[in-house]
Structure 1
Amino acid sequence: MDPRLERVLFVHAHPDDETLSTGAAIAAVAAGGGDAVVVTFTLGERGEVREERLADVEQVGVGEVRRAELEGALRALGARGRRIHGWDDSGMAWHENGVAGAAPDAPPTSMSKADPDDLADALSTVIEEVDPTSIVTYDADGGYGHPDHVAAHRASVIAARRYDLPLYVRSKRAGDAAFALEPVRDRVLAALGAHRSQLVVEDGDVLHVGGQRRPLDEVEHYTLIETRPRRRIRWGLRIGTLLAGIVVGAVGTFSHQQVPWGIALSLLAATGLIVGVRAASGSRQLTLAAVLGIIGVIALVAIDPLGRGAFGTERALVPANLPGWLWTLVPAAVSFVALAWPDAEAMRRIRMASKTATEGDRR
């Protein structure tokens, strides 16, 4: 993950998670000229609060205090923020095995009780707006088992698959990307300082409101678990698709003169094969194999290697009548459109270019 010219979406459950878990990465992306966008599902409404902020909480509530702290942290990191509404903090209780779980009285609207697909739908709305080049979130166990973190991870996996986006998760050991704290230490410390209701930094350690103490990570490691699929098309599949195209082309060439059903069924079969292969596989290679099979047969008949009469002549298999012209031109036109149709990555670039142009016009 190269910070330069990246638009990275960091997905988190609560305020302060963004800095504690991915602060160095966020600051590095922003400092490197990229666009760091932090999306947060809840405001950590059920979190404990340090004594020094209890007066503020009594006035405006935990959620509002933490929302203001999040805004301050994002400014320090150089990031933009997006809030997903509809779910609440699940709270937290430690199990006997040392893994965090939801509080026993977690409300029905808590993240831990949400359908992952619903969370992914909400996240998809943000993805459509931001149009990121990659997504970053917690690992599968949420770092230490917090169910809201786990829910954010699952939603991110679903959304990454939907949009063909690479997904990086924070890992405890070296993986596919790493961000050192030292170059952005001042930004990260300023962001941690913004979360005064939750933590304080003492002698290089983070002291949490619950009493937990841990040192600052000098390096953040990330593992790539979801990436744009590399479509490896086997030769057997290519040959099979080519043969299917030859069969459709041959049958259509011999039957398209059986008006009206012959030409209709022939065009339906040819169009269905070409469009179906492109839509199902997304591969231009497979689509080209189908095209070569169909168009190749039509072209060979027109060249007349069998001595049956060239295109348009009296003895031709493809005479110069309406069905003949349709059978000659329609598959060629469909082939051109199918091969020229942009793939998912091209569509993403088109959306980004359109969005950039629109923003430029507004200015």
Structure 2
Amino acid sequence: MDPRLERVLFVHAHPDDETLSTGAAIATVAEGGGSAVVATFTLGERGEVRPERQPLVDELGVGEVRRAELEAALRALGARGRRIHGWDDSGMAWHRSGRAGAAPDAPPTSMSRGDIDDLADALGAVVEEVDPTAMVTYDADGGYGHPDHIAAHRASVIVARRYDLPLYVRTDAPADVAFPLAPVRDRVLAALDAHRSQLEVDGDEVVHVGGQRRPLDDVEHYRLIETRPRRRARWGLRVGALAAGVIVGVVGTLSHQQLPWGLGLSLIAAVGLIGGIRAASGSRPLTLAAVLGVVGVVALIAIDPLGRGAFGTERSLIPDNLPGWLWSLIPALASLVALAWPDAESMRRIRMAGKAETKGGA
């Protein structure tokens, strides 16, 4: 990931996460000429507040104070911000294990109680607007177990898979990409200073509102994660789709002459299998495997290498009548539509081109 050439979308749950977790990366992307955009799901409405900021919080509310702090931090880092509306901070409670969890009274609108597909849909709208070339978020356990961080990670994985985007997660150990703090230290310190309701910088340490101290990281490490099934699993899925297609093709060929249920159920099974796999997975290779199973069986029987009679003869398993033609053509047409249907990345590009054309003509 060359930050000078990237449009990077950083996905976070609360204000201050962007600087504490990914500040050096954001500032490096911005300083290198790239575009850094920070998407934030909540305003950290349930966060504790440092005593010196309490009067302002009493006047404006914690969410409004933290929103203003986030805007100031993003200016210091050189980033743009996008707020994802619809969810609130879950709060936090420490468990005996030392891991964080949602507060017992987390509201129904909190991220930890949100439907993960709804979170992903909202994040996907930001992706379509920003058109990033890469995404960055927390690791799978949210850094220290915070449920809102975990929800942001899961939503990011779904969106990265939908739009075929590389997804990087923060990690403590050296991995695929590293961003040193030193070249952008002033930017990061200014951004940390903006979050005065939550923390202060004491030398080389960050002091959180609860008194916890954490040293500034000299280097931020990021790992590129696999958001799609591993190759071996993908081949297993394709073999399964091929086998399912063969079964549907054979059963449908044997039953399509039985009217009306045999033909109807055969067509529903064939079209449902092909279209369902394309819609659910978005994968052309997986869809093609199912197509080869269904349509391949029909074509093979029509060629009739076993000598039962060529297509259209009285002896053929697919005779020259209306059910025979419907069974031959409808799965083939459904296959063409499913394979030609644009994938998520293509649809994104189409929408982005449409927006650009609209702006150009305005």
Against the structure 1 CA distance between its residues 328 and 221, is the aligned structure 2 distance closer, same or farther, given a 3 Å change threshold? same
Query: Is this contact kept in 2: 1:29–1:36, CA < 8 A?
Result: no
SS at match of 1:21: helix
* Equivalences for residues 118-157 of structure 1 within 5 A: 118=114, 120=116, 123-131=119-127, 133-137=134-138, 140=141, 142-143=143-144, 150-157=146-153
Match of 1:328 in 2: 328
Match of 1:347 in 2: 344
Against the structure 1 CA distance between its residues 25 and 12, is the aligned structure 2 distance closer, same or farther, given a 3 Å change threshold? farther
Gap runs ≥5 in structure 1: none
CA distance in 1, matches of 2:212, 2:236: 58
CA distance in 2, matches of 1:282, 1:325: 29
Post-superposition offset of 1:29 = 3.2
Query: Is this contact kept in 2: 1:157–1:167, CA < 8 A?
Result: no
SS at match of 1:154: helix
Query: Is this contact kept in 1: 2:246–2:293, CA < 8 A?
Result: yes
**TM-score in terms of structure 1 length:** 0.75
Query: Is this contact kept in 1: 2:87–2:114, CA < 8 A?
Result: no
For this pair of structures, how many residues does the alignment match? 348
SS at match of 2:170: strand
Against the structure 1 CA distance between its residues 231 and 306, is the aligned structure 2 distance closer, same or farther, given a 3 Å change threshold? same
| Counterpart check, 1:73 vs 2:73 | yes
Post-superposition offset of 1:76 = 1.5
SS at match of 2:114: helix
Q: Percent identity?
A: 56
Against the structure 1 CA distance between its residues 12 and 177, is the aligned structure 2 distance closer, same or farther, given a 3 Å change threshold? farther
Q: Which has the larger radius of gyration?
A: 1
Match of 2:49 in 1: 48
Post-superposition offset of 1:45 = 5.6
* Equivalences for residues 259-298 of structure 1 within 5 A: 259-278=259-278, 283-298=283-298
| Counterpart check, 1:5 vs 2:2 | no
CA distance in 2, matches of 1:91, 1:250: 56
SS at match of 1:68: helix
Q: Which moved more, 1:315-324 or 1:195-204?
A: 195-204
* Equivalences for residues 174-185 of structure 1 within 5 A: 174-185=174-185
CA distance in 2, matches of 1:24, 1:358: 32
Query: Is this contact kept in 2: 1:137–1:170, CA < 8 A?
Result: yes
Query: Is this contact kept in 1: 2:137–2:156, CA < 8 A?
Result: no
CA distance in 1, matches of 2:246, 2:333: 17
Post-superposition offset of 1:73 = 0.7
Query: Is this contact kept in 1: 2:123–2:156, CA < 8 A?
Result: no
Against the structure 1 CA distance between its residues 16 and 126, is the aligned structure 2 distance closer, same or farther, given a 3 Å change threshold? same
Post-superposition offset of 1:38 = 3.3
* Equivalences for residues 19-30 of structure 1 within 5 A: 19-30=19-30
Describe the superposition over 1:41-63 as per-residue Cα deviations: whole angstroms up to 9, x where unpaired.
23456533364x56645653544
Query: Is this contact kept in 1: 2:206–2:214, CA < 8 A?
Result: yes
Post-superposition offset of 1:39 = 0.2
CA distance in 2, matches of 1:347, 1:119: 21
Against the structure 1 CA distance between its residues 294 and 123, is the aligned structure 2 distance closer, same or farther, given a 3 Å change threshold? closer
Match of 1:37 in 2: 38
Match of 2:88 in 1: 87
